[in-house]
Structure 1
Amino acid sequence: MRRLVYLSLIVLLIAASVNLQSQAAQSAPFSIQAPVELQPALSALYKARYNAEPFFVERDGDLIATDDPAFLPSGMGGVPPHFLPEAFFLLARPNAEAEAFVAYAVSADGQAALIEGGFLPKSVTVTDQAGNTIEVVQPVRRVITPYSIATYLVYGVGGSSRLVAGGYLGTRDPVGAARMTALDPRFPTLSGYTLNQREINIEQVAQLAPDLIITSARTAWLDTVRELNIPFVLLQGESPELLKQSVLLVGQLLGPNTAARAKAWIGYYDAILAQVVARTQDITERPKVLFVGESPLRVISGEMYQTDIIAAAGGQSVSAALKGYWNDVNLEQVALWNPEVIVIAPYGKITPQTFAESPEWAIIKAVQDGKVYKMPTWIAPWDTPVMDSVLGVIWLAQKLFPGRLTLDCAQEAMFFFKVFYDHDLPADEIAAVCGS
């Protein structure tokens, strides 16, 4: 008799447990499939957002959370949202509430919930590219980027929601401004401050109350900002390796999701450059390239990132021996170099027509052969040390070696902006830009 009572109690307990699970399944907006070791962190996120317990399942969840690399998309199929350094989400089926939860989990608020639960650190300590060691309290909710390069790096790693002000090189004309506004409707506000490498309005900065400033090592007003006791990180990306370090640094500062995006971009960048090398490595005579800036006789030095773009695309910069930053030269020097190709920076008013209509430049081989091109841009100039510069390498390689590359500039641009800027480019417009 006693055994029968015990068995009855067990049956009742099992039934009650099943009933509770059924009620949880009915009340939960979505189910989560996750290994046991990730469930405490997910519970912290779920409770912070819904003030309730999540509904975990062993299989067939609406939302999958995992740290198994086997679940990562193969090749460059995108970057899944990361809520911990090695743990990420995958949507098993369309579910609006699950999508909203994922967005929360990778936001500053989600990061704060994970920090409070002890799953993420309260601060990160980094060494910037000027050699300074900086401790940055997490999460970074408000960042300003007077250095335009830093602005685009923040966008590229998926941290644009943290921006409160920034510099935006390449958006001074109506076309650039319209493109930037389409990508981020807050652009007119974010760009409306006195904020660049040369000058800054200290009162505006104080009112913006940033948690972090990311700018260039060449910024002129650093001593002034020190008075506000705001941490700042300095970047110097004038080479492929320094650019990759810059991207990783920005990703690390803004959390696990941005760090994962940064690593994914480096994989993409290295893969693209390797493809170009594979297609051009048998060429013994590298085309001689002159890269000019905002005037025909203002040229790059060998210490600038544009020199590396030329090399990555399979060419050689005729001005590689020059030092410093932009150099002013004379036409006699250009004639001695006699470049086979001239590339014009995306910014500035000079065009290929500027050279074609000049009798003085008619002695230069590139002008004689009609090989003067203006590097395109969509938003960030493709010749600067930004993540978009990978597209500049593809475009230039296609100009230097028509028909050799299997890569397509327009297709790669559409892929790049979708994955790293979360933005769909108009196919016809980017095709025209890449074909310029």
Structure 2
Amino acid sequence: MKKMTAFCLAVMMSLSLFGCSQAQQVEGITIVDQGGRKVTLEKPAEKVASGYYIATTTIIGLGGEDMLTGVEMKAETRPIYKAAASKLLDLPALGNKKMFHVEECAKADPDVVFLPVSLKEYAAQLEELGIATVLLNPETQEQYDEAVQIIAKVCGKEEAAEDYFAYRKELYDTYLDFEADDSKQVYMAGLDLLQAAGKDMYQAEVIHDAKGINAYAQEGNRGWQSINVETLLSLNPAYILLENGGITSEEVYADESLQELRAVKNKQVYVFPSALETWDTPNLSSCLGTLWCAAILYPQEVSMEAVEKEAIDFYKQFYDIDVTGEQLGF
């Protein structure tokens, strides 16, 4: 009788577990993407495509490069791809911020596609072909963190995402535990010196996290805005940070109309690193941009040698590549 009872209990437990497993399988994975759309998958994606650089480099950093079956156009111009995931250069080029090749994507046969919200009109076309589509809009630090969590959940890389957030917290706790100085007024320029970063911009948050004050955002300005020289002179920032790939610090120093700026007088004009990928835009390495910015503003608190060391360690941990300070632009 005892044996029969034990057998019945075992059968009931097995059926119960099977029922739970079936329920989980039916329920699948559901996320709300950054376009406000509910997206459901039966299970974590095994094959993914990306029409968006920010999604692609994040997937690589979370250890999902082998999942990619197609990426955005001009992948060959991304040094981080060449260094950390060179096979991406041979994958189908699916689109850019303005358009997307639906037919080519279908041939790549992904389970899910990541697109910027600017390409939302392609979502319906892709889903008609049975390809789930996730829209991303990481314009701020909070939105990028949400994008990382979405990508991680869809790709089954949640543990890797947790490792990244824990790493970033420890990095900031280690190096940024000091009081901010209100004199650290920073002007952040885009590719052109007179393209200013205001509030609600990722670059503004990098400056804020480094305990700097965005001089242009103080005036209540939002987004990227074109300004004139007179406005820049009136801001008179103590530091000028330039987006990588645009105007250089040498060009700023040589401009006769800017000689009265504090940043020019004191030689405090800098171009964001790195040679692998820019550190002032939404990607996993932007935490290094915050650390670099802090070293510019507070050299007595954060040394550039420490930034270099942390950057080398970062790329080994998250991209599994060995880099030198010279390769990173130090």
Give TM-score scaled by structure 1 length: 0.65
> Residues 157-182 of structure 1: CA distance to partner in whole angstroms, max 9, x if unpaired?
1111101122378963xxx54x5323
Alignment gaps of 5+ in structure 1: 1-117
1:246 corresponds in structure 2 to: 147
Task: Summarize the alignment of residues 132-151 of structure 1 with structure 2, pairs less than 5 Å apart.
Answer: 132-151=37-56
Q: Is 1:207 the equivalent of 2:207?
A: no
How far apart, CA to CA, are the structure 1 residues paired with 2:74 and 2:231? 30
* Deviation by residue 1:131-163 (Cα, 9 ceiling, x = unmatched): 221102324122111111111110111111101
User: Per-residue displacement from partner, 1:82-125 (whole Å, max 9, x unpaired)?
Assistant: xxxxxxxxxxxxxxxxxxxxxxxxxxxxxxxxxxxx59954311
Partner of 1:345: 243
Counterparts of 1:219 and 1:383 in 2: how far apart (Å)? 23
**1:44-92 CA distance string (max 9 Å, x none):** xxxxxxxxxxxxxxxxxxxxxxxxxxxxxxxxxxxxxxxxxxxxxxxxx
Which position in structure 2 is the counterpart of 1:289? 186
Q: Tell me which residue corresponds to 1:101.
A: none
Aligned to 1:233: 134
**Aligned pairs for 1:98-177 within 5 A:** 122=25, 123-167=28-72, 172=77, 176-177=78-79
CA contact (8 A) 1:199 1:220 kept: no
Counterparts of 1:347-366 in structure 2, within 5 Å, are: 348-366=245-263
Asked whether the equivalents of residues 198 and 221 of structure 1 are also in contact (C-alpha less than 8 Å), the reply is no
Mapped contact 2:71–2:88 kept (Cα < 8 A): no
Secondary structure in 2 matching 1:289: strand
2:286 corresponds to which residue? 389
Give the partner amino acid of 2:133. Answer: F
Kept in 1, the 8 Å contact 2:197–2:204? The answer is yes
CA distance in 1, matches of 2:31, 2:319: 25
1:244-276 C-alpha deviation (Å, 9 max, x unpaired):
222122111111xx2111001111112223334
Work out the CA distance in 2 between the residues paired with 1:271 and 1:194. Answer: 37
Task: Please state if 1:420 is matched with 2:318.
Answer: yes
What one-letter code is carried by the residue in structure 2 that aligns with 1:344?
L
The answer to whether the 8 Å contact 2:276/2:327 transfers is no
Q: For the residues of structure 2 that align with 1:326 and 1:155, how far apart are their CA atoms?
A: 28
Greater relative contact order structure (CA < 8 Å, 6+ sep): 2
Query: d(CA) in 2 for partners of 1:408 and 1:147?
Result: 31
- Structure 1 position 428, deviation (Å): 4.6
Q: Does 1:272 align with 2:272?
A: no
Q: 1:285 to 1:361 in 2, by over 3 A?
A: same
Partners of 2:288 and 2:187 in 1: how far apart?
Answer: 19
Classify 1:225/1:318 alpha carbon distance in 2 versus 1 (closer, same or farther; 3 Å).
farther
Q: CA deviation at 1:227?
A: 4.1
Q: Contact 1:247–1:262 at 8 Å: present in 2 too?
A: yes
Candidates 83, 95, 99, aligned match of 1:195 = 95
Distance 2:74 2:146 in 1: 21
Equivalents in 1 of 2:40, 2:128: separation in Å?
Answer: 17
What is the alpha-carbon distance in structure 1 between the residues aligned to residue 90 and residue 142 of structure 2?
A: 33
- Whether the aligned pair in 2 keeps the contact of 1:301 and 1:307 (CA below 8 Å) is yes
Contact kept, 8 Å, 1:151 with 1:168, in 2: the verdict is: no
2:70–2:94 CA contact under 8 A, matched in 1: no
CA apart distance, 1:426: 3.1
Q: Is the 8 A contact 1:236 1:242 kept in 2?
A: yes
Alpha carbon RMSD of aligned pairs, Å? 2.5
Distance 1:312 1:168 in 2: 32
Q: Which has the larger radius of gyration?
A: 1
Q: Distance in 1 between matches of 2:42 and 2:97?
A: 24
Deviation string 1:226-259 (CA, Å, 9 cap, x unpaired) is 443421112222333222222122111111xx21
Counterpart of 2:242 in structure 1: which amino acid? I
Whether the aligned pair in 2 keeps the contact of 1:169 and 1:381 (CA below 8 Å) is: no
Q: What TM-score comes out, normalization by structure 2 length?
A: 0.85
- CA deviation after TM superposition for structure 1 residue 371, in Å: 0.7
Q: CA deviation at 1:128?
A: 1.6
Q: Tell me by how many angstroms 1:391 deviates.
A: 0.5
Q: Distance in 2 between the 1:301 and 1:214 partners? A: 28
Percent identity, aligned pairs only, is 25
